[in-house]
């Protein structure tokens, strides 16, 4: 099993961190190509819901994970150019689809929480939600920045994350207990 995990470790680590660092939608992530990333600037150009393109920024740590993964991909597939080469692929080099990413998130949740009945509650969208609530707190509750970061057209949609982040801490003190 460890050998099998090693085949995907760099990709999966980079992908999960990118989700948590940016709040990207699964469809946005899987549609990226390697040349959409500027690792020195910590950015990726994504096609957002609705068809607009936007630069999305990520941390230096995420950039390091992505560089490690992309270098492995370049070596594996002997890539001289990365134009139109999918950023996240299966072993064959085929672009990962939305369902494959959803399955791999489930795989890691099951591995981390084998006895939990809440495995199905943690999805790629939950990673987006976690990002949104953390970002909202870190920006001192700036809902307009969050709206822009999540690429929401409606402030009402963004407000769902803001309200969830405002939940009284006393009410949520045991929330992770069911996940252990």
For 38, phi then psi, to 5°, come to -120, 95
CB 20 within 8 A of CB 135: no
- Model confidence, pTM: 0.84
161 CB-contact burial (10 Å; exposed 0-12 / middle 13-18 / buried 19+): buried
DSSP-derived secondary structure for 59-102: -HHHHHHHHHHHHHHHHHTT-S--TT-BSSB-TTSPBPPHHHHH
Q: Would you place residue 180 in the very low, low, confident or very high pLDDT band (cuts 50, 70, 90)?
A: very low
Give the whole-angstrom CA distance, residue 16 versus residue 20: 6
Give the whole-angstrom CA distance, residue 138 versus residue 56: 17
Give the whole-angstrom CA distance, residue 3 versus residue 50: 40
Instruction: Render pLDDT for 35-87 as a digit per residue (tens, 0 to 9).
Output: 999 999 999 999 998 889 999 999 999 999 999 999 999 999 999 888 899 99
Give the whole-angstrom CA distance, residue 26 versus residue 100: 10
For residue 177, give the DSSP letter: G
| Residue scoring higher pLDDT (62 or 167) | 62
CATH of 2-97, one of 1.10.443.10, 1.20.1510.10, 3.40.140.10, 1.10.10.10: 1.10.443.10
Give the whole-angstrom CA distance, residue 93 versus residue 73: 9
- In the chain, % of residues over pLDDT 70: 88
Instruction: Render pLDDT for 7-37 as a digit per residue (tens, 0 to 9).
Output: 799 999 999 999 999 999 999 999 999 999 9
Question: Where in the chain are the domains?
Answer: 2-97
């Amino acid at each position: 099993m460890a050998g099998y995990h090693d085949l995907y470790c760099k990709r999966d680590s980079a992908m999960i961190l990118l989700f948590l660092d940016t709040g990207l939608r699964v469809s946005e992530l899987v549609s990226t190509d390697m040349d959409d990333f500027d690792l020195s600037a910590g950015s990726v150009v994504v096609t957002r819901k609705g068809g607009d393109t936007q630069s999305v920024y990520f941390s230096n740590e995420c950039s390091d994970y992505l560089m490690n993964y992309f270098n492995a991909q370049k070596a594996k597939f002997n890539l001289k150019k990365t134009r139109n080469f999918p950023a996240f692929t299966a072993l064959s080099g085929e672009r990962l689809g939305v369902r494959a990413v959803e399955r791999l998130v489930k795989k890691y949740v099951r591995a981390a929480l084998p006895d939990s009945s809440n495995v199905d509650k943690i999805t790629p969208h939950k990673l987006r939600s976690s990002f949104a609530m953390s970002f909202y707190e870190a920006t001192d509750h700036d809902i307009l920045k969050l709206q822009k970061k999540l690429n929401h057209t409606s402030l009402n949609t963004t407000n769902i994350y803001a309200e969830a982040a405002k939940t009284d801490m006393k009410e949520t003190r045991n929330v992770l207990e069911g996940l252990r």
